[in-house]
């Protein structure tokens, strides 16, 4: 039996796509051998509430007691990032406080500070992606950071218009959210939703990423596309061939446990042959396009709110430590 026929889906996926682990729980990383890792406020909050990570939080507080809370928070995030980077060969994504999502200058300042903290730990600038919400203000901040040589990962991305604005800003990487798009359409459809009809390539979240990927490849846009926020393995396998996919440990485990055949779904060569129209947005055009897209408008707002709630909870844990 040849090697290909015994390959599990995770190994098969790695032939075409860079696999990224979506977790703050760095003890789980070794099992899946991801290239990169991503974190967010919710994942870090989840991790520091586990007994094995509590000392990291206590340590950050003890070491920097008396400093501003936002600085202690950033030092904790960088501490997790450094632990992750000691395990993986590639890059870690660390998120700017979601409460700054509509403040370009503050986002730039926070991104610069995170990078300075990483560099103080001997981490090379190219091993860190600063995660920023894909608001108009966030995208402008990312453009400024990129000009300074600081690479960014634009997150909470739900629409084609956000992807176009990110491409214009020449950001390093975008994270279109597959599962949250799927959630919105499923909830909106209610009783009329038929799961089987919306699976795989028919999933609205999958289709959104396909559209963005094809557009980027058609027009030679260098920004990397990393599908994110998956609800099931079918969403992942339907995007095999995407530049990167960031996947939770649970879904990494389910891919590793499956030996069902996997085929490449996205292909840069095929995308280049497609008949697609080039789009450009100024601020007014971007805001109008977002406003026309109820799903993207609602999911972006909801995502920022949820990350803010978890940032406040993390603040409270730091204050109580």
The pLDDT tens digits for 33-90 are: 999 999 999 999 999 999 999 999 999 999 999 999 999 999 999 999 999 999 999 9
The encoded tokens of residue 51 equal 């007994």
Average pLDDT of the chain? 97
Residues tagged active-site: 131
Q: Is the pLDDT of residue 1 over 80?
A: no
Q: How far apart are CA 58 and CA 31, in angstroms?
A: 27
Query: pLDDT tens for residues 222-255?
Result: 999 999 999 999 999 999 999 999 999 999 999 9
Which has more confidence, 266 or 2? 266
Q: Which of 185, 136, 178, 141 is nearest to 158 (CA)?
A: 178
pLDDT at position 6: 79
Q: Is the pLDDT of residue 2 over 70?
A: no
Q: How far apart are CA 95 and CA 78, in angstroms?
A: 10
CATH class, range 13-320? alpha beta
Sequence-distant (6+) residues with CB within 8 A of 243 are 17, 18, 213, 224, 225, 226
Q: Model-level pTM greater than 0.85?
A: yes
**Bridge partners, 22 (sequence order):** 38
Name the band, by pLDDT with cuts 50, 70 and 90, for residue 5: low
Q: Report which secondary-structure segment, H or E, holds 205.
A: helix 204-218
């Amino acid at each position: 039996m040849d090697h290909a026929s015994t390959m599990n889906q995770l190994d098969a996926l790695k032939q075409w796509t860079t696999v990224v682990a979506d977790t703050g729980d760095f003890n789980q990383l070794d099992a899946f051998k991801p290239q990169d890792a991503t974190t967010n406020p919710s994942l870090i909050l989840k991790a520091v509430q586990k007994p094995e990570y509590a000392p990291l939080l206590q340590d950050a507080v003890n070491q920097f007691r008396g400093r501003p809370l936002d600085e202690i928070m950033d030092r904790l995030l960088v501490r997790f990032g450094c632990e992750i980077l000691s395990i993986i060969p590639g890059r870690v994504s660390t998120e700017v406080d979601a409460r700054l999502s509509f403040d370009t200058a503050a986002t730039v300042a926070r991104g610069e500070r995170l990078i300075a903290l990483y560099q103080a730990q001997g981490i090379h600038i190219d091993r860190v992606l600063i995660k920023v919400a894909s608001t108009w203000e966030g995208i402008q901040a990312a453009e400024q950071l990129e000009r300074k040589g600081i690479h960014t990962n634009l997150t909470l991305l739900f629409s084609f218009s956000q992807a176009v604005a990110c491409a214009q800003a020449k950001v390093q990487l975008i994270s279109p959210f597959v599962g949250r798009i799927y959630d919105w359409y499923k909830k909106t459809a209610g009783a009329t939703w038929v799961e089987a009809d919306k699976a795989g390539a028919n999933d609205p979240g999958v289709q959104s990423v396909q559209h963005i990927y094809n557009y980027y490849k058609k027009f030679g846009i260098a920004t990397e596309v990393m599908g994110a926020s998956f609800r099931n393995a079918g969403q992942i396998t339907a995007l095999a061939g995407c530049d990167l996919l960031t996947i939770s440990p649970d879904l990494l485990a389910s891919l590793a446990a499956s030996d069902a055949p996997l085929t490449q779904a996205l292909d840069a060569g095929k995308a280049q042959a497609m008949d697609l129209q080039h789009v450009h947005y100024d601020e007014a055009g971007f805001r109008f396009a977002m406003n026309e897209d109820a799903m993207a408008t609602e999911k972006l707002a909801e995502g920022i709110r949820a990350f803010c709630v978890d940032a406040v909870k993390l603040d409270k844990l730091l204050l109580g430590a």
